[in-house]
Structure 1
């Protein structure tokens, strides 16, 4: 199944895509797609004839994040060996964990917002994991039972704030709209192998990142099991899993985003995004 949320920010309608790619309104079945509903979303839709649900006219409609604001956005850093190399950092022996606030989440085509104090705004196409069942100290080999599905995400970063201002990475990761997500939330059963997904990102039409989740250092199952040792993963939580090489910081010379730039990205089976960089007003 592929889920979407469609409409103005804060008033999105939950939808499911039918076999023909038509968005069907499921708001009479579930009020939203998020932390309060995702655990039993599949059960609520079991046996429903999608053709009987109202079709949503997508023309001119905003696409929201396919999940409502999660309780937690977990992030894994330097999870591709070639990205670690371009950053000049050693390959980690354990996952590097940081976080973003829920306020960073936005729709796949919403603008990437900037402020006058930003000087090194960067892009990172990433596979996102959405948790469907609570996970804490889970048994080895059971991680996938706790995964609801996957999304495409952009871990937007302000590198000067992340690296040059001291303290934790999340300083440079947390501004509003620094986590475009979607357009679809695709259930686990639709993705045969999350470690075999092609991914690409371009800036103003020039391809900057082209990689595959096959080169992740720590795969999806390992990440979920690992994080569950340290924290309760809750339904609706989003985990962004790292990025392949080609980020702006790794260009020679470095190349960062400016207002007016357009970032486009896609991941196999998870859809595409298009975000314009824009000053916050």
Structure 2
């Protein structure tokens, strides 16, 4: 079962996006989607039965102008999106995730975790934390770690909450989709390697972030973030050329209709180009890979309200559409 997308007048910004769809009982296929919810099977349009969204990204310089032409043509091959299942838009080989990248979120955490004996007023402690964030943005490096592609699920699929997950939480994020192999690229060069953007909800079990048996080891991202389905992705990839400024998008998550996260990417400590450039200094980023850029303030731990059976999360980013997923408790 899954939560179905609601009809809207414009699904995303720009003339087209890339999706992975399937008809009932049919195989998944790469599709061009228009903002008016019309779709084109790219296997047919580009005469390639083996085509996938990732293979398009692997030859993005050639594919992009062809997709522009197909979107402009709006020929008779277009059909309605209704009736198709929307899968995660791409199968990445690598997922790069980032933490502590929204200024207000980190400041809130700093203020909430008052050191014993620190009796200073909140505004003084908040000002101190803000100064630390400014210095970090100027002098420090992003915090990036690795996620598993097997955690990715579709944008309308149910999310199974494992029985062992005591504190499952949401983290809506802007996700960067890589379009060219990138290794040791500069911040100035990084935008040339970005094919587009999509939405990711990087679910986390807060109870297993830190190892209880060996606290000196630190964070355990394998256990806390990589259960199957813990990264709903999509619904589509909007080309970078259709996103005027990734540093000025609204990231909004609603839980059962109530807004929990609502922040601009302006609040990011490290911007998109800096995140991509930093990850590329160690790893080689490949076409179709994802760089998740961190989550803003308003997680469940902040509200004292974590995910449970039956919850519906609705996540949107300006110009990129909306994903909608329902939480289902794992059967005992």
Output the TM-score relative to the length of structure 2: 0.78
> Quick check: which one's helix share is greater?
2
Question: Over aligned residue pairs, what C-alpha RMSD do you find?
Answer: 2.1
CA offset digits 1:50-92 (Å, max 9, x no partner): 434633443232211111x211010010100111123338745
Find the aligned partners of 1:149 and 1:235 in 2 and give their Cα distance: 11
Matching of residue 112 in structure 1 with residue 159 in structure 2: yes
Matching of residue 238 in structure 1 with residue 258 in structure 2: no
The gaps in structure 2 that reach 5 residues or longer are 1-15, 114-128
Q: Report the alpha carbon displacement of residue 171 of structure 1 after superposing the two structures with TM.
A: 2.0
Matching of residue 24 in structure 1 with residue 40 in structure 2: yes
Q: Report the alpha carbon displacement of residue 17 of structure 1 after superposing the two structures with TM.
A: 1.9
CA contact (8 A) 1:79 1:216 kept: yes
The gaps in structure 1 that reach 5 residues or longer are none
1:6 to 18, 21, 26: 21
CA contact (8 A) 2:177 2:288 kept: yes
Find the aligned partners of 2:186 and 2:296 in 1 and give their Cα distance: 29
The total of aligned residue pairs comes to 277
CA contact (8 A) 1:127 1:240 kept: yes
- In the superposition, relative to structure 1, how do residues 96 and 9 fare at CA in structure 2: closer, same or farther (>3 Å)? farther
Q: Report the alpha carbon displacement of residue 229 of structure 1 after superposing the two structures with TM.
A: 0.7
CA contact (8 A) 2:308 2:329 kept: no
CA offset digits 1:191-229 (Å, max 9, x no partner): 010000011101111110000101100000111111111
1:128 to 159, 162, 175: 175
- The structure whose Rg is larger is 2
Find the aligned partners of 2:25 and 2:159 in 1 and give their Cα distance: 15
Q: Report the alpha carbon displacement of residue 23 of structure 1 after superposing the two structures with TM.
A: 1.3
Per the alignment, residue 281 of structure 2 pairs with 229
Moved more, 81-90 or 96-105: 81-90
- In the superposition, relative to structure 1, how do residues 204 and 20 fare at CA in structure 2: closer, same or farther (>3 Å)? closer
Matching of residue 33 in structure 1 with residue 53 in structure 2: yes
CA offset digits 1:114-166 (Å, max 9, x no partner): 12111100001100000000111113411001000000110111111113545
1:70 to 67, 88, 92: 92
Moved more, 53-62 or 166-175: 53-62
Per the alignment, residue 82 of structure 2 pairs with 59
Output the TM-score relative to the length of structure 1: 0.91
